[in-house]
Structure 1
Amino acid sequence: MKKTLVTLLAVLMFLSMALPAGAVGKGPNYNGNETINDSRLTSNEDLMAQVERAAERSDFMELEIIGQSVKGRDLPLLKFGTNPDNPTILFLTQQHGNEVLITEGALQVIRSLSNNRRQNAELAENVNVFFVPRINPDGAIGDVDFDTSDYVAGGLATRTNANNVDLNRDHNELTQPENIALHENVLQAYDIDYLVDFHHQGARSAIDGELVSGSILHPTNEGVDPAVAEMSKQLGSVMYDSVEDRGWGLLAKYPGGDANTIARNGLAFDYDIATLLFEMRGMIDNVNESAVLGQKSNGYLIQQAVVSMEAAIEAIADRSIEDADTSFWDTLETQSFLPQEEEGE
């Protein structure tokens, strides 16, 4: 375990030197001069090829297709470690198709876990790590059946799925095939202990005018088991510390509501899963151009995702998450959204 952390820290130190000036810490402000180079982002075909290779390469991974999207694209579930006696964490990305950098981070973690090295063998003996790395593939590539001219700026991706439904507002009614697959073939089929629901938000959200790189929030709806709520706060503590301690960003408390239709609340209530919303700056496309971050910002945001995921995995594997200090939630400042920004979740 310790060697894994040392190796990760060494990689992060190298990346901090290799990234452009301003690409660490709180990151560069959006200045209108950055452009998204979508050719550097993972296509849906490449994503499927990567998860297939990871499962074939690894002694500890299995690939399961849990269903298909509206347009018939496969929805993969990649499972690292399958011992039902071990705690399980699920990383869920891209409910919103235009929120892509988290998926890039998840793919990096998947590649790292696919090596049959001793550290990964030890992890697999102590924790199960599940990935649903792109639950909205149709929205991710903009293959939709509605007019997007008033919705996105560049036509790269859409927030909603092909039926123009926000998947993160459909966790009660389950009208969409993507959510039906997630609930029936993952949440009801496996004993999930922790779930991180990753999103992006407006690029210039702030605490008292100071730009943040992301925000987090535990379940806030009534009826959640107090033990589950505490586990959610512990998960937030581990991931918050991983970002803050390394200087990769400034995280705030997300000003979210208490609706059960969203994953953060509904899944904690319905399945007793400790959930955490983790939002990061920047989207690949948005009608508000200031919400879109360019290539200069991509690197440090992807590494923020990698660092926080790795920290959660390690803390669950060695059970140190059970001692995580949750008192920081009492003083964590709530972010604000600057004018004309789109909120996340």
Structure 2
Amino acid sequence: MGDGSRQFRTFTIITVGEGPNYDGNGQITTSKLATYDELVSFLKDQDTRQPAMDLEVIGQTVKGRDIHLVKYISDPAKPTILYLTQQHGNEQLTTEGAMAFVKHLGTGKSGDILDGVNILIVPMLNADGAMGDVNFPLDDYLAKGDRHMTRYNAEEVDLNRDHVAKIQPETQALHTNVMRKYSIDYMIDLHHQGTRSERDGKLVSGSILYPTTPNADPAVVEMSKQLGAVVFNNVDSTGWGHLGKYVGGSAETISRNGITVEYGIATLLFEMRGMSDHYLDGYALGLRSNGYLIQQTVTTLTATAAAIADGSIADADTSFWDSLDTQTSRPGEEADDE
């Protein structure tokens, strides 16, 4: 795939939440997921093909890999949304979805959205963790015969706990060259959680949450809830999507909280079901579930960008949050951790 023409595979959409767990198909593999080099090749190819797209390097990882920012900015006066993926290197299906979204923007399938919104995408913040190129052993991870993927960066630091101190180069790059450089109104931070969280007795396809720190501006929290309403209405209605309310803390070291307080940006956490690799059986998900989780990401990005572009997000009804049940974990799964 050196020419950047990455082919997106067609996946079968299956019943929500019932995709095979690790013990269901006995195989965790990362070979079908884009490597860092394949991602970069794809982004550079799309940059040459799409007049509306710009590609910027915002910094480097611990191991010296360039961190890329995809930009669709036609008018700084338009509202701007940032999509952030793979703060945790073993959470890649959101990156696969972001790549598909970029391709859609270039083919006209979603291109009209750009008339009303600026879009920024950081498609792989933690490239070292995604490639398993780290300074600690990954012998206990589950992926067989492929590269291992870990939550942490090369120095075994959780980047989503570094949004106050900003010690790691990846976090510094994000804050210095994205958060402080561009006027951002909304952000969705895309993650993965375990495989056995449920709502109303059914396994969820993902979970969402707005900022919960008491230091957040209530008006910005309301905007965050509107962002969540757009996601919920477009995903939960598909038949294969089933969302719960995430159990999340109020620490401002987490991007969902810290970025809201520091920059006044409306933020939403979206935790997709299952991780690409892990050392716990209950967190890794069989590859046959890739299809609906990638599509869930594409749906999320397309729907939120469209709602911001046409202004309908301002009318989004946030009352659903009052009745949305917080997801619970089926026996045998440890608590999720954003």
Q: TM-score, normalised by structure 1?
A: 0.90
Q: Does 1:75 align with 2:67?
A: yes
User: 1:243 and 1:28 mapped to 2: Cα distance?
Assistant: 17
Q: 1:57 aligns with which of 25, 49, 52?
A: 49
Q: Does 1:19 align with 2:25?
A: no
Task: Give matches, 1:319-338, under 5 Å.
Answer: 319-338=311-330
Q: Which amino acid aligns with 1:178?
A: E
Deviations 1:235-269 (A, max 9, x none): 00001111112112210000101000000000000
User: 2:109 and 2:129 mapped to 1: Cα distance?
Assistant: 38
Q: Does 1:137 align with 2:130?
A: no
Q: Is the 8 A contact 2:16 2:204 kept in 1?
A: no
Q: Is the 8 A contact 2:20 2:288 kept in 1?
A: no
Q: Is the 8 A contact 1:27 1:300 kept in 2?
A: no
SS at match of 1:286: coil
Q: Is the 8 A contact 2:28 2:142 kept in 1?
A: no
User: 1:309 and 1:33 mapped to 2: Cα distance?
Assistant: 30
| Equivalent residue number for residue 168 of structure 2 | 176
Higher helix share: 1
Deviations 1:81-118 (A, max 9, x none): 33110000000000000001111000000111123x49
| Equivalent residue number for residue 270 of structure 2 | 278
Shift of 1:304: 0.8
Which segment drifts farther, 68-77 or 239-248? 239-248
Task: Give matches, 1:228-247, under 5 Å.
Answer: 228-247=220-239
Q: TM-score, normalised by structure 2?
A: 0.92
| Equivalent residue number for residue 185 of structure 1 | 177
Runs of 5+ in structure 1 lacking a partner?
Answer: 1-14
User: 1:250 and 1:177 mapped to 2: Cα distance?
Assistant: 36
SS at match of 1:317: helix
Q: Is the 8 A contact 1:138 1:161 kept in 2?
A: yes
SS at match of 1:162: coil
SS at match of 2:237: helix
Structure 1 pair 119–280 and aligned structure 2 pair: CA distance change class (3 A): closer
Q: Does 1:88 align with 2:44?
A: no
Shift of 1:177: 0.2
Runs of 5+ in structure 2 lacking a partner?
Answer: 1-9
Q: Is the 8 A contact 1:212 1:251 kept in 2?
A: yes
Structure 1 pair 25–340 and aligned structure 2 pair: CA distance change class (3 A): closer
Q: Is the 8 A contact 2:20 2:286 kept in 1?
A: no
Q: Which amino acid aligns with 1:136?
A: N
Shift of 1:129: 0.9
Q: Does 1:123 align with 2:107?
A: no
Structure 1 pair 118–298 and aligned structure 2 pair: CA distance change class (3 A): closer
Deviations 1:58-100 (A, max 9, x none): 1111000000000000000001133110000000000000001
Q: 1:294 aligns with which of 276, 286, 289?
A: 286
Q: Which amino acid aligns with 1:19?
A: T
Aligned-pair Cα RMSD in Å: 1.6
SS at match of 2:165: coil
Aligned residues: 324
User: 1:29 and 1:19 mapped to 2: Cα distance?
Assistant: 13
Shift of 1:52: 1.0
Shift of 1:125: 2.4
Identity %: 51
